[in-house]
Structure 1
Amino acid sequence: MAAKHTPGERIAELCKTYGVSRETLSERSGISTELIRRIEEEGHIPDLAPLLKISRALGVRLGTLLDDHEELGPVITRAGKAGEAARFITGVPEAAKDDSHKGLIFKALAADKNSRHMEPFIVDIEPDAEQAKSTHEGEEFIYILSGNLALEYGSENSVLHEGDSVYYDSIVPHRVISADGKPVRIVAVIYTPV
């Protein structure tokens, strides 16, 4: 199967290949049929939690929805080149993206690695980024490169600063936003079990 260019196109192609209806995918993933429709037809990019749930429901890893091709050996991402590997901005159709858009901007660090179970990203969190708390299976590790990050984890709230890190279970409802209305840059590694 040839790789598509957006997560929505890949989801639609996988559903067609596997004979999975949108309703069945919704039931298996716990994601509404309306959100799946928006992802497939409008190019809407939700946060990672719905994409993780959809990938699990389809029996593929998250990278299958994000990658163009796969490398068997090590994948090296040179300084300043993470954005060239893969990039998406949550909540924004591909056609509407431009440099003026604010949000959570994910830059994949190992987009081409074959059969990986970790998804490493550099994430730029703009001051006006908004996202609901998400929950999904797996674990996450975050390291703050710059700025001040507000982490909401279950009923706990923490502020992390440059050089701080956090490791947590993703099944607990969580979200990350700017703590002080200024941009934040983090390294985020998401692990999902096989």
Structure 2
Amino acid sequence: PVVCRKNEASEAVSFSNNAVQSRKHMEYHSLSSSKADRHMEPFIIDVTPTDVTDFVLSSHEGEEFIMVMEGVMEIRYGKNSYILEEGDSIYYDSIVPHHVHAYEGKAAKILAVIYTPL
């Protein structure tokens, strides 16, 4: 097992795929970087406000779970938009085009678990 104590989340991680631009407002902190061969990836994500309103939706295989720890988030999922406040959560198939961002120009913090199948 991997135990991650409070304040032990990894330094911010970066991604090398084509979604880097759409994620630049998010700082990911892995909670399981020492676990090999994992299919679930838990993160604490610090979300900074952005002026962008025409978000590029992304889609990929797998599922995502998000719980808002601080602030308010907007999740665009397909043709729908969901506003989540502290304590709210959402679980969805990530093959549907989606985008996650802070709502109304205020910073937020989320717990996100991303599942990627084999």
**TM-score category by the smaller chain?**
0.7 to 0.9
The number of equivalent residue pairs is 110
Query: Are the structure 2 counterparts of residues 119 and 113 from structure 1 closer, same or farther at C-alpha, using a change threshold of 3 Å?
Result: same
Q: Which has the higher contact order (CA 8 A, sep 6+)?
A: 2
Q: Please state if 1:135 is matched with 2:62.
A: no
Q: TM-score, normalised by structure 1?
A: 0.53
- Normalised by the length of structure 2, the TM-score is 0.85
Residue identity in the other structure for 1:136: H
Runs of at least 5 residues in structure 2 that lack an aligned partner in the other structure: none
Query: 2:64 touches 2:114 (CA, 8 Å); kept in 1?
Result: yes
Task: From the CA coordinates, give the structure whose radius of gyration is larger.
Answer: 1
The answer to whether the 8 A contact 1:145-1:162 is kept is yes
Q: Which residue of 1 aligns with 2:35?
A: 113
Task: Choose which of 57, 62, 75 in structure 1 pairs with 2:2.
Answer: 75
Match of 1:122 in 2: 44
The reply to whether residue 185 of structure 1 matches residue 109 of structure 2 is yes
Bigger strand fraction: 2
Aligned residues: percent identity? Answer: 45
Where in structure 1 do 4 or more consecutive aligned residues deviate above 6 Å?
none
Aligned CA-pair RMSD: 1.9
Match of 2:59, SS state, is coil
From the two aligned structures, give the one with the greater helix fraction.
1
Shift of the alpha carbon at 1:148?
A: 0.4
Structure 1: gaps spanning 5 or more residues: 1-73, 93-101
The letter of the residue matching 2:33 is: A
